[in-house]
């Protein structure tokens, strides 16, 4: 059973200061997850987590993660700018972009970021843009086809379709790219790949690692390039549903270590550093969307109307994604009422839950929508003039800190031309 990281009593005090809806983050949980990840990969001396900024682009969250030794993975100009303002520089920044404008490559180069190229044509585009090829560079690999892990110990089948993804180079292109980059002065090479999203399996990362490690050995033999780092990317998921098992990062790290020692070490590549970009794993469980019940509507169904909407959390509306809901103060009551939990947008998809069995809900109840710490506030928008909400950090000492104020109508009007 999922339990919020905050009590009803705590929340009642917090909402006196910050009106609902708002996203609430748990500092203690974030730090513990970061430390657990670093313990799991401590066997690899050069290991570094490059947090995917797109998951939770809040400066205070990024600074917190930097304190825990994390870098950042950026995919746009503004993400690079935010990271720079937060104090990240040089090897602390990975720039993984696609369909990239020249100005973004320029800033990445100025910051000393490690550039991860998405296409073979970007080699000359980068060179023409900044005037040189960096001595340290990476290429994103797409093996094509369908990736299937099969039945895991957790009883969950992992399957995705890299061949339909717009990202990365083919296997022959990887060889061509490394040779070309070496000709142009590159000295340190990296490999990146992302094959499946939000996997609930301790076997995914080791399977991905084995694919990348074998590819690295082949590329070294074919091109003579010195491969110094391999980016395992993201894809390690979180259990959005209460009946799903959580990934064990210690088990995952051990599985990657075995593959490393079986494949890279015998090939004389025991100096390769590993890195990850685990946005969802790092943050999703440590964020709640807090909202209050405004209305109950009984027509063909029983609708609970809350003061949050898809502007605050898009995933259920656009993906049909499941997010667990806790009715605060009623955690132990029977879930014997069936509701659709809805927001106020003029879209029928603006529903946080459909036919969800919950305890009986009353007007004024506080609801916690779980696992919104990644791809929650970050995906917000302003349709219907519904404004993006505040972000609040629950500090380790139990106090709270506003880390992003709620938008105001003046923010909404600020970019309009009135005359």
Token output for 296 = 């109950």
Which structure tokens are listed for 20?
A: 């609902």
Residue 377 has pLDDT above 50, yes or no: yes
Q: What is the pTM of this model?
A: 0.94
Q: At what angle do helices 59-67 and 27-40 cross, to 10 degrees?
A: 40
Banded model confidence at residue 155, pLDDT cuts 50, 70, 90? very low
| Residue 223 and residue 182 in contact, taking contact as beta carbons nearer than 8 Å | yes
Tokens 């369908």 locate to 146
Structural domains in the chain?
Answer: 41-277 (3.20.20.10), 285-413 (2.40.37.10)
Q: What is the pLDDT of residue 148?
A: 67
Measured distance CA(123)–CA(260) in Å, rounded = 29
| Angle ∠(42,274,264) on CA atoms, nearest 5 | 100
Give the span between the Cα atoms of 80 and 261, in whole angstroms.
35
Residue 220, number of CB atoms within 10 A of its CB: 19
Model pLDDT, residue 254? 98
345's tokens = 């947008």
The pLDDT tens digits for 321-372 are 999 999 999 999 999 999 999 999 999 999 999 999 999 999 999 999 999 9
Q: Output the pLDDT for position 341.
A: 98
pLDDT of 221 higher than 70:
yes
Q: How do residues 387-403 score in pLDDT, each as one tens digit?
A: 999 999 999 999 999 99
Angle at 157 between CA 156 and CA 161, to 5 degrees: 145
Q: For position 163, what pLDDT does the model report?
A: 67
Catalytic annotation present for 86:
no
Residues 6+ apart with CB under 8 A from 378: 54, 55, 56, 57
Residue 149 has pLDDT above 90, yes or no: no
Half-sphere exposure of 166 (CA within 13 A, CB side): 3
| Predicted confidence (pLDDT) per residue in 47-56, tens digit | 999 999 999 9
pLDDT at 157 over 70: no
**Pairwise CA distance, residues 80 & 237, whole Å:** 25
Q: Which of 128, 249, 103 is nearest to 184 (CA)?
A: 128
Residue 196 pLDDT: 85
Judged against a pLDDT cut of 50, whether residue 152 lies above it is answered with: no
Chain mean pLDDT for the chain = 95
Does the pLDDT value for residue 153 go beyond 50? Answer: no
39 and 250 Cβ atoms separated by less than 8 Å:
yes
Distance set, CA 93 to CA 37, 41, 49, 80 (Å): 18, 19, 10, 8
- pLDDT tops 80 at residue 162: no
Q: What is the pLDDT of residue 164?
A: 73
Averaged over 95-124, what is the pLDDT? 97
Answer whether residue 156 shows pLDDT above 90: no
At residue 197, the pLDDT reads 84
| Per-residue confidence (pLDDT) for residue 165, from 0 to 100 | 73
Instruction: State the pLDDT confidence band at 286, using cuts at 50, 70 and 90.
Output: very high
Give the pLDDT confidence score for residue 140 in this predicted structure: 96
> Which residue is catalytic, options 86, 139, 335, 346?
346
């Amino acid at each position: 059973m999922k339990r919020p990281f905050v009590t009803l009593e705590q929340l009642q005090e917090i909402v006196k200061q910050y009106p609902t809806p708002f996203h609430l983050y748990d500092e203690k949980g974030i730090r513990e997850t970061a430390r657990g990840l670093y313990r799991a990969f401590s066997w690899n001396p050069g290991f570094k987590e490059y947090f995917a900024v797109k998951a939770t682009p809040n400066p205070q969250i990024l600074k917190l993660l930097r304190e825990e030794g994390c870098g950042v993975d950026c995919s746009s100009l503004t993400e690079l700018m935010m990271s720079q303002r937060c104090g990240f520089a040089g090897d602390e920044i990975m720039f993984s972009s696609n369909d990239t404008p020249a100005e973004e490559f320029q800033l990445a180069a100025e910051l000393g970021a490690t550039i991860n190229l998405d296409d073979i044509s970007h080699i000359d585009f980068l060179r023409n843009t900044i005037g040189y090829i960096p001595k340290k560079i990476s290429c994103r690999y797409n093996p094509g086809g369908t990736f299937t892990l099969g039945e895991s110990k957790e009883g969950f089948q992992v399957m995705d379709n890299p061949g339909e993804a717009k990202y990365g180079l083919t296997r022959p292109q990887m060889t061509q790219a490394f040779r070309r980059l070496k000709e142009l002065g590159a000295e340190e090479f990296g490999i990146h790949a992302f094959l499946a999203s939000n996997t609930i399996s301790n076997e995914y990362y080791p399977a991905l690692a084995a694919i990348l490690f074998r590819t690295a050995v082949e590329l070294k033999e074919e091109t003579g390039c010195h491969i110094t780092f391999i980016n395992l990317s993201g894809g390690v998921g979180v259990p959005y549903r209460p009946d799903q098992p959580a990934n064990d990062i210690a088990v995952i790290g051990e599985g990657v270590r075995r593959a490393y020692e079986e494949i890279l070490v015998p090939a004389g590549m025991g100096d390769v550093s590993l890195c990850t970009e685990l946005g969802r794993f790092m943050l999703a469980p440590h964020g709640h969307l807090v909202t209050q019940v405004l209305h109950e509507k009984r027509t063909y169904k029983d609708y609970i109307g809350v003061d949050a909407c898809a502007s605050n959390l898009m995933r259920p509306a656009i993906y049909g994604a499941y997010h667990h809901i806790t009715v605060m103060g009623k955690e132990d009551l029977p879930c014997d009422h069936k509701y659709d939990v809805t927001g106020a947008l003029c879209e029928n998809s603006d529903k946080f839950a459909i036919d969800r069995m919950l305890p009986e809900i009353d007007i004024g109840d506080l609801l916690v929508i779980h696992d919104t710490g990644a791809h929650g506030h970050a995906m917000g928008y302003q349709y219907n003039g519904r404004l993006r909400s505040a972000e609040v950090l629950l500090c380790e000492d139990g106090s709270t800190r506003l880390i992003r104020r709620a938008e105001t109508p003046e923010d909404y009007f600020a970019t309009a031309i009135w005359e």
